[in-house]
Structure 1
């Protein structure tokens, strides 16, 4: 999905920046927690932010991650008085934030910017809905497969052997993304390795049969174009 700020013409971008303030957050720091007042919409100038929801003790699910030039906090700013998810910095990050009042005023006077924000919101909703479908409809194996497909779309390089994912994938991160135990994730990955569907060199994976995942998830019948984490 194209980041929000990358969609904007320079005039609209400058309006947002002129009404924003910059903040720095370190890796592992919260920007907001579920239930906090939804006072700001955020933009990522540098770094990576994970948006997630608690499902109970030691259990959580990733809604999405947002990187450079993208925004977050819209689930709250445009939907109620409190954030319904938590936002955590995955890396040292530089953010801009704009108050709810200011973004509402800007959008009410700038139709072109409003259209860009609406399109971004709609695409984000579609991507999140597809992710929830994968997690709920296709069981634990489908949920893990969904993570690998999304990583391959974001970081995959096509090679004669298959799709090589250039970013490391941690078992604990997959567990956090989909809200199932590390033991279950490990069991599924080991099964795929035994069947020759994937292989790995430490934390770097090669998808030797990506069609297996796509058939498992009925990807041919999915209309979502921006299938990412």
Structure 2
């Protein structure tokens, strides 16, 4: 998560408790931490590197659900019951990952009620984040979904660029298409339209947001907290 990562959800003391049960795993770009259908018995904390979460459709098309960077905690895990992964996790940059096993987490949650409450809040917000992404895809068409995606990228990777915001993450049109269920050609066309409206520009292959209000109007932004409106 941009800036604060999971410290936006967990106190420093409880974060250290989570760290105490992590073991470190290294993974190279192109590796998979888990596949859709694997047993969901671990959480993953990104110490450094990057990971993207993907979902395969029945037709074989891969959709990018979310992007994770240093400071993020992710993984589908249901304490005290068995489940399987609904998504796959692909490493996009060489990673150092802190892995938390479900059985160790369960003991920790039993022992520390305050940690259990914070963990429940974190799970709730993760579900809310997923719901808002599906809302973006279904409610306001592809232009709305693309504008919402740009806002989320800005919240996750944005850095000041004069009066504007540079998305400090190189993403191509094909990847953006995979995030909103569109074709690369339609993403090209929509971005060209936004450039004509002076809402954004491209600098050295990176997107600069010039008019955030324009993007918010197109996607009917509900001003969700940045903890939710992110990749």
TM-score w.r.t. length of structure 2:
0.86
2:129 maps to 127
Partner SS state of residue 47, structure 2 = strand
Supply the distance in 1 between the matched residues of 2:9 and 2:198 (Cα, whole angstroms). Answer: 41
1:48 maps to 50
Supply the distance in 1 between the matched residues of 2:169 and 2:23 (Cα, whole angstroms). Answer: 31
After superposition, the Cα gap between the structure-2 partners of 1:138 and 1:36, relative to the gap in structure 1 and judged at 3 Å, is same
2:100 maps to 98
1:64 is displaced (CA, Å) by: 2.1
CA contact (8 A) 1:5 1:70 kept: no
* Coordinate RMSD, CA, aligned: 2.3
Partner SS state of residue 123, structure 2 = helix
User: Where in structure 1 do 4 or more consecutive aligned residues deviate above 3 Å?
Assistant: 5-15, 76-80, 221-225
Partner SS state of residue 39, structure 2 = coil
Partner SS state of residue 152, structure 2 = helix
CA contact (8 A) 1:59 1:179 kept: no
In structure 1, runs of 5+ residues without a counterpart are none
In structure 2, runs of 5+ residues without a counterpart are none
Deviations 1:130-179 (A, max 9, x none): 2211111111111111111112223142534x433333331122122222
Aligned partner (choices 149, 159, 167) of residue 162 of structure 2: 159
Supply the distance in 2 between the matched residues of 1:130 and 1:224 (Cα, whole angstroms). Answer: 11
How many equivalent residue pairs? 226
Partner SS state of residue 168, structure 1 = coil
Structure 1 stretch 192-201 or stretch 30-39: which is displaced more?
A: 192-201
Give matches, 1:199-214, under 5 Å.
199-214=201-216
Deviations 1:3-62 (A, max 9, x none): 225654555344333322211011111000110011212211111211221124452323
2:66 maps to 64
After superposition, the Cα gap between the structure-2 partners of 1:65 and 1:77, relative to the gap in structure 1 and judged at 3 Å, is farther
